[in-house]
Amino acid sequence: MEPLSNHYALLRILKIAALLLSASLLSHCTSHPYRGDAARYSTPATSPAVEENSIAKSRPGLGTELGHELTDTSSTATFYRKSTGQPDAMATFHYNDDEGARLMASLQGRPARRDGGFELIPGKLRVTVMDGSRYSSSALDHYESGQGIFVIGTPGENYSLKLANRTSRRMEVVVSVDGLSLLDGQPASARKPGYIIPAKSAVILRGMRVGGKLYSLEFGSVKESRASTAFGQKGARNVGVIGMACYEEDEIVRRRAQVEESYVREGARAFGS
């Protein structure tokens, strides 16, 4: 009988060992999801918005921020584009602080520092970037190198754009700053409306219109630029460039419209129908 008793004792020991091993494995398995959940909530992944903000924050140089609100004295008028598809001429220039502008110019050749305006589109459009003072504004210096123009800005300073029409006819100019239209603060397109400049005359653009209000243009950081704050990293990629798209006017269509208006006015009655 002893061998049988020993056999039962051995079976009992094996069962106890199996139960202990099972409990140990169960405890081990249930602890992992708990630790995993704790780690997932305590160290959340960085959101794309935070990553984009960090990238923009780390970028050196200038961007264009919206400054104080301005009184908008502009008005609307009809312009008859000769080309309804592509503009007749397009050109861009860049801006940055002194160090950044000089470096960009050096990458294209031997930079020359100049004052005053510059012929952005020879024979058509002359541009002068001016400081923000309304009554004693002066032109900002710029570097010229190869085919590039690089305007020198100062952080915290307002600026304006003076556009001079060099032709003997009216011209429409679509303007973008940091890839945004000055007329609505949204992503720019050459087909959007622009500013009408009379023949042999100039206009000064002092701000960007956003939400129906006009705000001054101010040199600031890339992170706080209108392009970055409104459109994230995608908008920040276009910081530092100013573009102009010029349209000539279809004089025949304009003249026809004036004649038609003359006939309408001839039929006007002073005292009702």
Residue extents of the structural domains in the chain? 51-255
Quote the pTM value. 0.77
CA distance 48 to 232: 10
What is the rounded CA–CA span in Å between residue 242 and residue 240? Answer: 7
pLDDT at 32: 33
Report, as an integer, the average pLDDT of 198-206: 96
String of DSSP letters for 237-256: TTTTEEEEEEEEB-HHHHHH
Q: What is the pLDDT of residues 47-69, one digit of tens each?
A: 444 445 555 667 899 999 999 99
Q: Taking all residues of the chain, what is their mean pLDDT, rounded to a whole number?
A: 84
pLDDT single digits (tens) 28-51: 443 333 333 322 323 334 444 444
d(C-alpha 180, C-alpha 174), whole Å: 11
Condensed to tens digits (0 to 9), the pLDDT of residues 227-240 reads 999 999 999 999 99
At residue 2, the pLDDT reads 45
Distance, in Å, from the CA atom of 194 to the CA atom of 16, rounded to the nearest integer, reads 87
Handedness of CA 251, 253, 255, 258 (dihedral sign): negative
pLDDT of residue 84: 82
Q: Which residue has the higher pLDDT, 196 or 136?
A: 196
